[in-house]
Amino acid sequence: MTEAELYTVYKGVQLAAHLHPPQGLKYFEEFSFRSDDIIIVTYPKSGTTWMQEIVPLIMSGGDPASVETLPNWRRVPWLEMYQSCTFNIEQRPSPRMLATHCQYNMMPPSFFKAKPKVIYVMRNPKDVFTSSFHYHRMASFLVNPGPQSEFLDKFLDGKVYFGSWFDHVKSWLNTEDKEHIMYISYEEMIMDLKDSVARIAQFLDKSLDAEVIEKIAERCLFKNMKQNKMSNYSTAPPEFLDQTNTEFLRKGIAGDWKNQLTVAEAEYFDAVYKDKMKDVKYKFVWD
């Protein structure tokens, strides 16, 4: 199907019409945040599902009940997904765990008043591109990516699902009220998951024994999380997500772009990155 058939534009950003019909976006706009909500914010393919495993385990003190019984999209629902309206989020006890792929400026008015806790996960955009390229081949609600070079142009131009990676990251880095935001990268989690879990727990004011932190980190290792049916999308209908050729939990490594991009494509990517990120002071792990 074509982009015109599959996509809708919301606040200047391309969304999947099937997942984000007007009623769903209205629900999102009118959503009432609480100040003790925990929001996982990511550009797609940056480690959302990983964080949807880690945060519930931290909040339950390591009890795996919720990650073993609820699919990730119910456990930590995306607010802008239409399906979330049916999850009784309003009735959930505090602290609620929520997710969004939206840019900062797309957040609804109540977010700016309540200032809930945000965990913003970033990933090397070349790996985001690589993961996204494969994901577009399996997700029926996204347009077929076509040849890699074409998809690369679209990605760098922000003409993809949830818009530009550059705009997304800059929007969340440039906020004024950073004290309620924790910034963490996929790469830091790959390098030291135990330390990352400990830092996230501290940000969430959860005091956990070293032993519990170790257990959570072990459970969230790629090889172990891949076995969790509630997190590997094996319960998602194949006509929605076709995992025959590539799995959702695909490689789970940092630097896979080296196997995906040609030298020329990587150089082109770097040149665009340098230009678009020239005013950003944040020190990324991959720079």
With H, G, I as helix, E, B as strand and everything else as coil, classify residue 9.
strand
According to the binding rule CB under 6 A, does residue 158 interact with ligand A3P? no
> Per-residue string for binding with ligand A3P, 55-94, x by CB under 6 A?
----------------------------------------
According to the binding rule CB under 6 A, does residue 255 interact with ligand A3P? no
* Dist. CA 59–CA 67, nearest whole Å: 11
Nearer to ligand A3P, 75 or 134 (CB): 134
10, 19, 47, 233: residue in contact with ligand A3P (rule CB under 6 A)? 47
According to the binding rule CB under 6 A, does residue 131 interact with ligand A3P? yes
Stretch that binds ligand A3P, among 58-66, 84-92, 219-227, 277-285 (CB under 6 A): 219-227
Q: What is the DSSP letter of 48?
A: H
Min dist. Cβ of residue 248 to ligand A3P (A): 7
CA atoms 118, 224, 249, 233: torsion sign = negative
* Dist. CA 230–CA 257, nearest whole Å: 27
Q: 47 and 68 in contact (C-beta within 8 Å)?
A: no
Residue located via tokens 């020190």 = 283
Residue located via tokens 């945040």 = 33
With H, G, I as helix, E, B as strand and everything else as coil, classify residue 266.
helix
According to the binding rule CB under 6 A, does residue 250 interact with ligand A3P? yes
222, 268, 284, 286: residue in contact with ligand A3P (rule CB under 6 A)? 222
Residue located via tokens 């956990």 = 208
* Site of interaction with ligand A3P (CB under 6 A): 42, 44-50, 127, 131, 134, 220, 222, 225, 249-252, 256
